[in-house]
Amino acid sequence: MSASQASSATAGAPPAKRPNFLIIVADDLGFSDLSCFGGEIRTPNLDKLASHGLRFTDFHAAAACSPSRAMILTGTDHHIAGLGNLIEWTNRSDQNAPSEGESKHWSTAPQRGMPGYEGYLNERVVALPELMKDAGYATMMAGKWHLGLTPERFPSQRGFEQSFAHLPACSNHYGYEPQLQNQDQIPGFMTMSFIALHSEDDEYVKELPQPWYSSNGYGDAMLTYLREHVEKQDEEKPFFAYLPFTAPHWPLQAPDEYIEHYKGVYDEGPDALREKRLQKMKEMGLCAEDVEPHPVVADEVKTWAEMSVEEKAKSCKAMEVFAGMVECIDANVGKVVDYLEETCELENTFVCFMSDNGAEGAAYEAYPIVQGSMIQHLQKYYDNSLENLGRGNSFIWYGPRWAQAATAPSRLYKAFTTEGGVRVPFLAKFPEGYEGTGGKGGISSTFSTVMDLAPTILDMAGIKHPSPDGKGTYQGRPVVSMRGRSMVPFLKGEEKGVHPEDFIQGWETCGRAAVRCGDYKIVFIPKPKGPEKWQLYNLKKDPGEIHDLADQDPERLKKMIKMWDQYVLETGVVPLAPALGQWMEAMEAQMPEDVWMEYEYWKDGARDEPEKFRRELPRFTREIKAM
């Protein structure tokens, strides 16, 4: 059965009063960071939601942020929806880690300008908020959009009646921008990493509310929208609310009052934290007692034992700041959920929380693009002293060892299609009539993905998708069907799982690939983090993806590689190496680097006169044939 054949989006009759929806997303949160998933970080509000709902231990996103967000809001694969890759990674290839002597095979140039790689939510999909708005829902969002930088791509153009949206991939959480001296320029890596570019409804935001801290700002905006909705006293008009935080994405920054809660907590280092969390997860029933965790892969950075006293202190502080960011998210979730409870809306609201991918483990200090001018820039314009870490004029990340403390027992982290990159924490509190399996506070090991959210929400709301067979239209244009599947039959106990056992799920990000069918998964990870060939794992017996079965079971491997070929055919993946199928060398028109952003908002004068810094990008076509 193909992935598209297995997908469905049922639409049942709506209840007497249709449910509300609150979808909450964290940015680069690790699997075990929340206390209800085995962590030590204080998350009482999310824990409370989990105690009244269901936690999922086999829930999956894409390996990176905007692809996952595209899937959440469309119910289909990100290679179809326009975010085949992060546009920032397509724009320049030095975000990738090419293998020795084979750099042309890991260049992102072949993806530039191709269908499905537009860098924004394209016209082939209908967005979930568009359908909710059409069906009479009040639609609102506050937080990270990352699905288009220009006014015609704003949330307001894809169904959100009210929106306060962070447009790029990441930025300074305090809105801090250094004032450059003399002829200094922003280093290449920093251009799209520090400016807090926002839109409000149809306009760019000229100045952020003060004092500004990202998570507090988005929590406040959502609270304002919900209050306005309730005060209209239209009891028959339910709401669809989307609250995607930019935290805890780097730069790691948090209010001091949250950071202080974690002073000394991480002094034993990331390996000790990893062991503590694994033990807690076993005690909570979140993983098997005999689980074998994948070894930590972090050759590019020092081990804990090799670090100096000062290096250990700064590394611990980075983790303390990260924990503070997570607690601040929880506090803002709490004030929104508390308001729903005060206004008697919570009981009839589907609330869910997830991360958009695995924990961020990149050791950016080892990237050539970061070395040199970037380090000099940080030394001149930022204060990364121990006491100042976490404040607006600091700029840090925490690296692969802390990340793998959060993704254990899984392999690797964000940007990789191993379980550490794509398995994410997911919890949901259901409205009346959808109590879930396992009772309140239960744990489900059923396989599901972020693509299942849109069909589930439409099903609960009694709304039909306009193109269930892929042949329908929306507002006069043809649109694709959803590849996800409604969770409702599973939640009502009518089916054993969300997907049938022969369901096929594929992943691809920057030449890292995977396919899963049932308990088995094949993974392709380029060097240096992988062997640069397909590997085969039985996830039921080996969730850490340690014991490669490719040589033992070549027939299964061959069969699953054919599933990968089918996934490429169905979704339009542009492979970055011959080993991944229909590889094509980049055309000359695709070769220029750093010219593939529609709006170069980081340049001098760009935010004063945006239209002068727009680019008309070339669009190419590609014919994909069955192999």
Write out the catalytic residue numbers. Answer: 65, 146
Structure token digits, residue 60: 């999956």
Structure token digits, residue 15: 């209840």
**What's the rounded Cα separation, in Å, for the pair 239 and 137?**
5
Across-strand partners of 473?
478
**What's the rounded Cα separation, in Å, for the pair 22 and 142?**
11
Q: How many residues does the chain have?
A: 627
Q: What angle do CA 224, 230, 235 make, to 5 degrees?
A: 155
Structure token digits, residue 137: 């829902």
Can you list the alpha helix ranges (DSSP code H) found in 82-166? 87-91, 128-134
Q: Where are the beta strands (DSSP E) in 124-238?
A: 138-144, 162-166, 198-200, 203-204
Structure token digits, residue 42: 């204080």
Q: Where are the beta strands (DSSP E) in 462-605?
A: 473-474, 477-478, 504-509, 512-517, 520-524, 534-538
Across-strand partners of 478?
473
Please give the C-alpha separations between residue 62 and each of 117, 121, 377, in angstroms, as whole numbers. 15, 15, 32
Query: Which value, in Å, is the radius of gyration of the alpha carbons in the chain?
Result: 23
Residue 581 zone, left/alpha/beta (φ > 0; ψ -120 to 50; rest) = left
Can you list the alpha helix ranges (DSSP code H) found in 471-595? 488-491, 554-571
| Closest residue by Cα to residue 523 from 500, 499, 547 | 547
**What's the rounded Cα separation, in Å, for the pair 102 and 516?**
27
* CB-based contact 165:154 (threshold 8 Å): yes
Structure token digits, residue 310: 């000062």
**What's the rounded Cα separation, in Å, for the pair 473 and 479?**
5
Structure token digits, residue 579: 């080993």
Q: How many other CB atoms are found less than 10 A from the CB of residue 382?
A: 20
Q: How many other CB atoms are found less than 10 A from the CB of residue 553?
A: 14
| Closest residue by Cα to residue 89 from 102, 108, 114, 70 | 108
Q: How many other CB atoms are found less than 10 A from the CB of residue 27?
A: 27
* CB-based contact 381:397 (threshold 8 Å): no
| Closest residue by Cα to residue 405 from 248, 266, 252 | 266
**What's the rounded Cα separation, in Å, for the pair 459 and 461?**
5
Structure token digits, residue 451: 């693509």
Q: Phi then psi for 67, rounded to 5 degrees?
A: -55, -45
50 residue type, one letter: A
* CB-based contact 378:176 (threshold 8 Å): no
Task: Indicate the pairing of strand 59-60 with strand 448-449.
Answer: parallel
Q: How many other CB atoms are found less than 10 A from the CB of residue 78?
A: 32
